[in-house]
Amino acid sequence: MTAVVDRTTEALLARAERVIPHGVSAAGRDVYRDVVVRAQGAYLWNAAGRRFVDHLLSYGPIVLGHADPRVNAAVAESAARVDLTWVGPQAGEVELAETIVGLVPSAQKVAFVNTGTDALQHALHVARAATGRERVLKFHGHYHGWAGELGVGANFDVAPGAAPPPDAPNSGGAASDVADRTIVVDWNDAAAVREVFAAHGRELAAVFTEPYLHSYTNAAPAPGFLELLRELTARHGAVLVFDEVKTGFRHHLGGYQAIAGVTPDLTALGKALGNGWTIAALAGRADLMDLLGSAVTMDGSYYANPYAVAAARRTIELLADGGIARLDRLGARLREGLTRAITDTGVTATVTGIGSGWIVNWRAEAPVTFRQAVDADLDRAEAFRRAMLDAGVLLPPYVLTDNRICVAFTDDDVDLTVDAARRAFAAVA
Binding stretches for ligand PLP (CB under 6 A):
59, 115-117, 120, 143-145, 210, 214-215, 243, 245-246, 270, 280
Q: What is the DSSP string of 80-148?
A: HH-----SS--HHHHHHHHHHHHH-TT-SEEEEESSHHHHHHHHHHHHHHHH---EEEEETT----SSG
To the query of whether residue 256 is one of the catalytic residues in this protein, the response is no
- Nearest residue to 105 (alpha-carbon basis) of 242, 254, 233, 229: 254
To the query of whether residue 32 is one of the catalytic residues in this protein, the response is no
Residue (252 or 380) nearer to ligand PLP, CB:
252
**Residue 153 to residue 183: CA distance in whole angstroms:** 9
**Residue 9 to residue 124: CA distance in whole angstroms:** 42
Q: Which one from 54, 271, 377, 402 is the annotated catalytic residue?
A: 271
The minimum distance between CB 133 and ligand PLP, in angstroms, equals: 22
Cα separation values, 121 from 56, 182, 268, 331, 416, Å: 25, 14, 10, 32, 40
To the query of whether residue 138 is one of the catalytic residues in this protein, the response is no
Residue (243 or 413) nearer to ligand PLP, CB:
243
Residue (65 or 274) nearer to ligand PLP, CB:
274
**Residue 87 to residue 365: CA distance in whole angstroms:** 55
Q: Which one from 54, 118, 138, 143 is the annotated catalytic residue?
A: 143
Q: Which one from 243, 265, 377, 413 is the annotated catalytic residue?
A: 243
The minimum distance between CB 396 and ligand PLP, in angstroms, equals: 10
Cα separation values, 135 from 118, 138, 167, Å: 19, 10, 13
The minimum distance between CB 428 and ligand PLP, in angstroms, equals: 27
Taking CA 244 as the corner, what is the angle to CA 216 and CA 57, rounded to the nearest 5 degrees?
Answer: 60
Residue (298 or 347) nearer to ligand PLP, CB:
298
The minimum distance between CB 36 and ligand PLP, in angstroms, equals: 19
The minimum distance between CB 303 and ligand PLP, in angstroms, equals: 13
Residue (377 or 402) nearer to ligand PLP, CB:
402
Backbone dihedral region of 22: left (phi > 0), alpha (psi from -120 to 50 degrees) or beta?
Answer: left
Active site residues: 143, 243, 271
